[in-house]
Amino acid sequence: MNSTVPDPPIVVKIGGSTLGGNDTSLQDLVSLHAAGRAIVIVHGGGNVISEWMRRQNLAPNFVNGLRVTDGPSLEIVVAVLGGLVNKELTALMQKLGGPTIGISGMDGCLLQAHVANPDLGYVGEIVRVDPTPVNAIVAAGYIPMISPIAMDVTENSDHAGQPLNVNGDTAAGALAHAMGAERVIFLTDVTGVMDNGGRVIPRLNASTAVSLRNSGVARGGMLPKLDACLAAIADRAVASAHIIDGREQGALMDCVNGNPIGTRITP
């Protein structure tokens, strides 16, 4: 493993819904890393969390694409995201030949958050990102696989220092911004951001994306993705953010190579 400081990384958000039979995303990530690109992965796992919640007779509940997380739900989130899903994805990457280290956003105080909306329970709003541990992993030649669990840094809170559930898209956008990433790519199960007629919008700038978000055209799970894209490209910290269909073979490689796919959002 080399220990030189790498070029700005490509931050990629993957989710359980993108890991289908035709999905080549993990192989694409391994290939990009083998070609010398710095890769940082943030993963989700919402479907797996919901499955385990139902096993415990807990009903999944979402508000504007964010999971309402009470105490029992938080235990499942931490166990599933920080344990089961993170280690399964780490194992898959290594089986494909990609040297990968699985961590959570709590490790090294990477993601720091507070509870912004008590109605959502233990859902964190990220207030600070310290990319030092991720930079060290990347510089050592590894691929970090990060679960979106943040440390609660709310002052005078009984829950301070404990985990908070953070939306994976939000985590990826914040991390990309903090690292000054080359780009951030969100793999999802739709072909991109849609207009009123259900057609993919190939390009958006920040102001148009804000208008689209506020108009109500984008809804549900697309809202945190759009917000994450806007957070990443704020202050031109990241040149571009991409929302693409991770179910398509070679989609990730096409995006990195500049082929038109999905929606590209620029400052």
Encoding tokens for residue 121? 């329970």
Distance between CA 39 and CA 240 in Å, rounded? Answer: 16
Which residue type sits at 226?
A: L
CA 236 to chain centre: 19
Q: Which residue in the list 44, 221, 225, 246 is annotated as catalytic?
A: 225
Please state the φ and ψ torsions of residue 209, each to the nearest 5 degrees. Answer: -65, -40
Distances in Å between the alpha carbon of 129 and those of 84, 170, 251? 24, 12, 29
Count CB-CB contacts under 10 A for residue 234: 13
Which residue type sits at 19?
A: L
CA angle, 116 then 14 then 105, to 5°: 45
* 95 given a catalytic annotation: no
Q: Which residue in the list 105, 169, 173, 192 is annotated as catalytic?
A: 169
Contact (Cβ atoms closer than 8 angstroms) between residue 65 and residue 170: no
Encoding tokens for residue 120? 């959502």
Q: Which residue in the list 46, 82, 102, 124 is annotated as catalytic?
A: 46
Contact (Cβ atoms closer than 8 angstroms) between residue 208 and residue 36: no
Q: Which residue in the list 13, 45, 102, 227 is annotated as catalytic?
A: 13
Distance between CA 191 and CA 198 in Å, rounded? Answer: 10
Q: Is the dihedral of CA 94, 49, 176, 208 positive or negative?
A: positive
Q: Which residue in the list 16, 124, 173, 262 is annotated as catalytic?
A: 16
Name residues whose C-beta falls within 8 Å of residue 139's C-beta, 6 or more positions apart in sequence. 2, 3, 4, 5, 6
Q: Known catalytic residues?
A: 13, 16, 46, 169, 225
